[in-house]
Amino acid sequence: MASAIEARLSALNITLPDAPAPAANYVPFVRTGNQIFVSGQVSSGPDGFIKGKLGADMSVEEGAAAARRCGLALIAQARAAVGDLDKIKRVVKLVGFVNSTVDFTDQPKVVNGCSDLMVEVFGEAGRHARSAVSAASLPFGVAVEIEAIFEVE
């Protein structure tokens, strides 16, 4: 029988990507006790990295869509860590980095793309603490990178 979260993903017409492999000398997640710390997931889609700089060549809406893609990768990593997404008890915290100009101030609106996804998928358990900060640049020129902490059974 499919898990409740997998059924919700299906009902929302959301297909998770494969959990991305690390791009350097680190692991994609660490489980310690009842928490999973997921390494930063960069914005990428079916056609590769989603690149850009908010406030220069990307709109807030495009940035939020890129953040949503980070969220899909975070959930995929969580599934790789625990096997069954129903074992996720809570999204504890997201830390979002937005590749943006020095005068761009809508980082929270961009990272909402990921935050909104977590609530769509996990309901009240998807509500989380969060940071949304600017970065002068991000790996590979991506628009957004987000890391997460999940509480698990």
- Is the confidence at residue 1, as pLDDT, over 80? no
Domain-embedded: residue 118: no
| Domain around 64 | 1-7+39-86+126-146
Helix (H, G, I), strand (E, B) or coil at 85: helix
Say if 96 falls within a structural domain.
Answer: no
**Structural domain tally of the chain?**
1
Percent of the chain's residues with pLDDT above 70: 99
Share of the chain above pLDDT 90, in %: 97
pLDDT in tens, 25-64: 999 999 999 999 999 999 999 999 999 999 999 999 999 9
DSSP strand pairing (144-152 vs 35-42): antiparallel
Please determine, for residue 2, whether its predicted confidence score (pLDDT) is greater than 90: no
Can you tell me the mean pLDDT for 102-115?
Answer: 98
Residue 34 lies in a domain: no
Within a domain: 92: no
State mean pLDDT over 65-85: 98
